[in-house]
Structure formats: structure tokens, C-alpha cells
Amino acid sequence: MTKINAMWQQYPGLAPELTATLTLMEQNIKTHDPKITTAILEMIHAGGKLLRPAYCLLFSKFHTADRQKMIALAAAIETLHTATLIHDDIVDDSALRRNQGTIQARFGKDTAVYAGDYLFVVCFKLLAHYTSGLRSIQINSRNMEKILNGEIRQMKMRYQLDMSLDDYLLQIKGKTAQLFGAACFIGAYESGSSQAFAQQSQQIGLDIGIAFQIVDDILDYAQSSTVLGKPVLQDVRQGVYSAPLVFALQHATPELIQLLKKGPQLTDTDCEHIRQLVIANRGVAQAKQLAAQYTKKALTGIQRLPINAAQQELYQLTQQLLDRQY
Amino acid sequence: MTKINAMWQQYPGLAPELTATLTLMEQNIKTHDPKITTAILEMIHAGGKLLRPAYCLLFSKFHTADRQKMIALAAAIETLHTATLIHDDIVDDSALRRNQGTIQARFGKDTAVYAGDYLFVVCFKLLAHYTSGLRSIQINSRNMEKILNGEIRQMKMRYQLDMSLDDYLLQIKGKTAQLFGAACFIGAYESGSSQAFAQQSQQIGLDIGIAFQIVDDILDYAQSSTVLGKPVLQDVRQGVYSAPLVFALQHATPELIQLLKKGPQLTDTDCEHIRQLVIANRGVAQAKQLAAQYTKKALTGIQRLPINAAQQELYQLTQQLLDRQY
């Protein structure tokens, strides 16, 4: 039974299309192993927010688009996102995602590798059948290349205590913002907008994505693993340093640096200690300022769009998303 | 320095185009981590046979095609093949491939996951830029779905002592023959052939792929790890049973079954023992008959094609390929 996140009740124009997006994804996921099919479907149903398809659909409402086509493209984007999550969980050896065991943790890395690969293929299948031409596939494959390079960049920067804010921003542009930008671009472009409008939409999506990832990274420092659905500061143990830590390191105590040098050997107590030191060193406070800057940039961009119901929902959603939890 | 396998010296019409295929692959592989880029390039240079691009190029020579376009499509196909090899080596925990360490063994599974994902993207980027329309992308994504489902089917059938010959054939159709079929189809179709000619080409490719995989599986029973470039019968230890073993099990001694029940705990001595039992039970002999059937079918198909230089090279290559080593 297809059920989307309760937050979408506030968006009556969008909710039925997001339900249709999820249903279409379900219909397209049919592997020859019921165990793998079920694992993927359970992951999809575990309450992913469907933000990327939501932005794709909203940006398609400034022109008169074939709704079925737009729903299929939104499904392709969320399918790609799911594929990257499954593979990220292999790379990070994550145990939990969306409050349930990751596919690797439950079924092993073999299933997780192929489940992710399979979803990449489903994404391209949906794109190939519903786009109006090769142009969107070209843009999408370029975007995917940037996303992969973002992941690769993050891997390369692991455990780098001298990581700069620019390094961090480049990383999250690749691994998160790029797909938000692509969702907005595809939504606009495939609904028949001008190239200029599609690029304007993409820029707004990039800013939303950057702000979204900073907020996500801040939440790692604010929340318990029970609330968040995944272990706290596991990323730091893996050598992935995000905005609060990068800021804190700019005026860090030797204590913090000493702790971080333990690398993969960090204990849960160490991580809690790091969390407190980062807050004490104003890392979280400065990251909040940075998130606010990108949020403001995104909201200003949305205010410049033609005023209609979609524009209002875009504004509301973006504000709600980036104000969450703090 | 781009260097293709010495076997192509016998195919003067093909050799320069295969060199160009390899060069184009190199030019398109540029990740943000020189370590990963180098790892992928080293794998590509370690002597992959380039069979799939060779068939793609040969089947494009029955019509007047833009050679640069055909080379790019051949590169896309080999890139996809390389991606699946990298991910297969993660799933199988393989230590060696083409006489050198696998990417997972040398750089860890994180690098291997992203390196494979990156090559999937490069494949689609090449396809999106060089095909004549969405149709080839549609066919390609359907083919990729079948390939993934072949891998998934193989994973599901692991350690199944009652595996039938039909199960085996379905598996290798998915994991190997499908890509040979796609290479031939794309070669023909994108060079401007009729739909019927492209489908005829695809069928020949499927038969070549099936015969090729059976021969490959037979070679596991005939060769030392030094000659083959990978440990012998590692697949059996992983629970992947191929034609010789499937045939041997049809009239098996309790001794063979007893050994196989050790599953992942099989020692090198056990594997050598299994090898001897399979040969003694006529498993290899029967597998050779099966390979000969599919080889004959493929060669008959090629004989029915219009006679030109490409047709003669197709015949020679297919015969050489399927006659190798025994």
C-alpha cells in the first residue's frame, strides 16, 4: 500500500502526484529475486521524504505539462537517489537508514551492490521512456557524473583535518545539491519552459540542496540516534567532516584535534565528546549562519518566479525544510 | 599508451577502430581522484579482449555508418562491461582479474563501488551523446535490466545442488549473452540497418555470448590459475555452478555432492578434487558438446549474412573465439 510522508498533507496539489510517483516506482521495481525486490520496496516505504520528486513536480507547474510524464520523471529522480543511498551505505558500512537496517546490513554487500545497480538502470529506463528527447538524458548523465565525482571527492578528503569550507561546499554540491538542481531543471525543462527558466530553476535547486545538506549535517550534532534513525556522528568516525566540525576546527582546541586523530577507532564516548567540543567551539552556530545564507538565497530566487499556487508551495516547502528542528 | 590485445593483428580492418575505442574510453574516464582514475585505466589496459566492441563494430559494417559514432557506441558497451566486472569482483570478493589485483582488493570496496557506478554513468553519457535517438537508450536500459537480473538470478541460485541446465542457460543469457546481443544489435541498428537485420544480429550475438560463456566456464576446469589470471574454481567455492559441474551432477558420485556441501569452506585441495571428479563424470565433455551446438548456431547465422569483409571477419573471430584452448 503506497503511503507518502505525512508532511505532504499540507500540500494538497502535490500529495496525489507524489503518491503516483511512489506507485510508479513500485511498479518498475521487479527483480528476479523476490527477496531483493522486497528489500528495495521496504527501503522506499520506510519514509523517504520524496523531496527531489516534489521539487521536480513543483517546477513543472509553471507550464502546461503532461502530468503522467512529469510523474515518471520525478520517479526516475527518486529512483536514482535511492540507488545512491544503497551504495553509500555499502561504502560507509552503515547499519541503519530510515530507522531500519540497511540493505547491506540485512542482505550482505552482494545484494546491496546489485540492488543499487538495478535502480540505476530503472532510473535510465524511466528517463528513456518519458523524456522528450536525448537532451534530458545528456543533462542527466552529466549530472550523475558530477554526483559520483562529489562522492569520490568526499572519499578522497576523509580524515583531512585541514579541510576548508570550500572543500566542504564542493563536496556537498556534488553529493547532494546537484541532484536537487537536476530535479528542478528537469521539472522546468521537460514541462516546456525556456532554457533560461530551466537554468534559473536549477540554480534555486542547487541553493536548496546546499542549505538542505548543511541543515542535515547540523542535525547530526543536535539529535540522538533514536530521533534521527541512525547512529550519531558515525560520519566523523568514517572521516567525513561536515560544516560544524570544519568551522570548529578553524578555532579548535588541541583536545578536539587529538580526539579526531583516533580516526576509525573513535568510541561512542569520544563522538559525544566531539559533539560537545564542536558546539562549544561555535561550530554549530556558524554552520547555522551558513545554512541561513543559502536558505535566503533560495527563497529570494523563488520569490522572483511567476506567482501561482506552485510558487507558493515552493516557498512554503523550502522554508519548512530549512527551518526544521532548530 | 593505448595498446590492444595482440589477437587483433589478424583483423586489420578492425584493429585501428578498437584502438580508437580504447582511446575514447580513456579520454572519458576522469574522476576527481587520480587514484581511482588510474585504477580504472590500469584495469582497462590489463588486456581485456574488447570482444563486445569488436562485435559492435563488425555488425556496423553492413551499412554505411559514421565510424566515429560507431566507435563511441563500442566504447559505451565496453565501459558498461568494465563497470559490471568491477562490481562482480566486489560481490565475489575476487582477488585477481586479468592477472592483476581487482579494484576492491587494491583500493577497498568503497573505491570499487564508486568506480563501477562512475563507469555506468560514462556509458550512458557516451550513449546519450552518440546515438541517433531515444530508441537505442531504451533498448540499452532494457538490456541492462536483463543483465542485472541475470546477476541477481545467479546470486539466488548459489549453492543449489539441484540446479538444472535450463537454470544455467538462463543465468548466462542474462549475465553474458545479453551484452553480446546488445553489442551486435546496436552495431547493426545504429549503422542504419532494418529492424529485422538488427534483430537477426542480436540473435547471433546471443548465441556467440552463450557459447563464449560455456567455453569460459570449461576453461575454469582445464587451466591453472597462472595461465588463467585468476584462482581456479573460486566460483564453485562461492556457490556459482557452471555447465561442467551441472552436467557432472546429473550422474554424480556421492563423493562430489559431499564435497560441494562444504560450500564456502572448500579448500584448494577440495577444489582440485572437484575438478578431477567433474572431468571423470564427463561434465567437461558434455559442456564441450553444448558449446559446440551454440557455436554452430552462431556460425550458421553469420553464414546467412551478406558476404563482405566484415562477414568474413565475423566468421573468423567467432570460430577462433569458441575454439580457443581446446
pLDDT of residue B226: 59
pLDDT of residue A305: 96
C-alpha span between A5 and B274 (Å, rounded)? 54
Contacts with A116 from chain B: Cβ below 8 Å = 113, 117
Interface of A with B in 55-114 (CB under 8 A): 87, 90-91, 109-111, 113-114
- A227, with CB counted inside 10 A (0-12, 13-18, 19+), is exposed
pLDDT of residue B31: 86
Question: pLDDT band at B79, cuts 50/70/90?
Answer: very high
Of A31, A122, A142, the CB nearest to B125: A142
- Residue A298, SS3? helix
CA B195 to chain centre: 25
Give the dihedral sign, CA A236/A238/A241/A242: negative
Looking at residues B15-37, what average pLDDT do you find?
91
Residues in chain A: 326
Domain A14-314 has CATH 1.10.600.10: yes
Of B33, B128, B153, the CB nearest to A152: B33
Dihedral (Cα; A132, A137, A140, A146), 10-degree rounding: -160
Query: Is the Cβ of A285 closer than 8 Å to some Cβ of chain B?
Result: no
pLDDT of residue A325: 61
HSE, side-chain direction, 13 A CA sphere, residue A70: 30
Write out pLDDT tens, residues B41-70.
Answer: 888 887 788 999 999 999 999 998 899 999
Looking at residues B216-242, what average pLDDT do you find?
79
Q: Residue A117's closest CA among B117, B119, B80? A: B117
Of A226-230, B122-126, B150-154, minimum mean pLDDT range: A226-230
Beta-carbon separation of A152 and B36 below 8 A: yes
Question: pLDDT band at B190, cuts 50/70/90?
Answer: very high
**Kind plus residue range of the DSSP H or E element containing B241:** none
Query: Is the Cβ of A296 closer than 8 Å to some Cβ of chain B?
Result: no
C-alpha span between B215 and B210 (Å, rounded)? 9
Beta-carbon separation of B31 and A128 below 8 A: no
pLDDT of residue A30: 87
pLDDT of residue B326: 44
C-alpha span between B151 and B322 (Å, rounded)? 23
pLDDT of residue A228: 58
pLDDT tens series, chain A, 326 aa = 567 888 888 998 899 999 999 999 999 998 888 888 888 888 888 778 899 999 999 999 999 889 999 999 999 999 999 999 999 888 877 777 777 788 888 888 888 998 999 999 999 889 888 887 787 788 888 888 888 888 888 888 889 998 999 999 999 998 899 999 999 999 999 999 999 999 999 999 999 999 999 999 998 888 765 565 556 788 898 898 999 999 999 986 789 999 999 999 998 888 888 998 999 999 999 999 999 999 999 999 999 999 999 999 999 999 998 777 64
Interface test with A, best of B134, B160, B238 (most A CBs within 10 A): B134
Write out pLDDT tens, residues B256-265.
Answer: 999 999 999 9
CATH topology of domain B15-317: Farnesyl Diphosphate Synthase (1.10.600)
HSE, side-chain direction, 13 A CA sphere, residue A177: 26
ipTM: 0.84
Beta-carbon contacts of residue A99 (< 8 Å; ≥ 6 apart)? A46, A47, A229
Residue boundaries of the structural domains of chain B: 15-317
Contacts with B124 from chain A: Cβ below 8 Å = 124, 137, 140-141, 144
Question: pLDDT band at B100, cuts 50/70/90?
Answer: confident
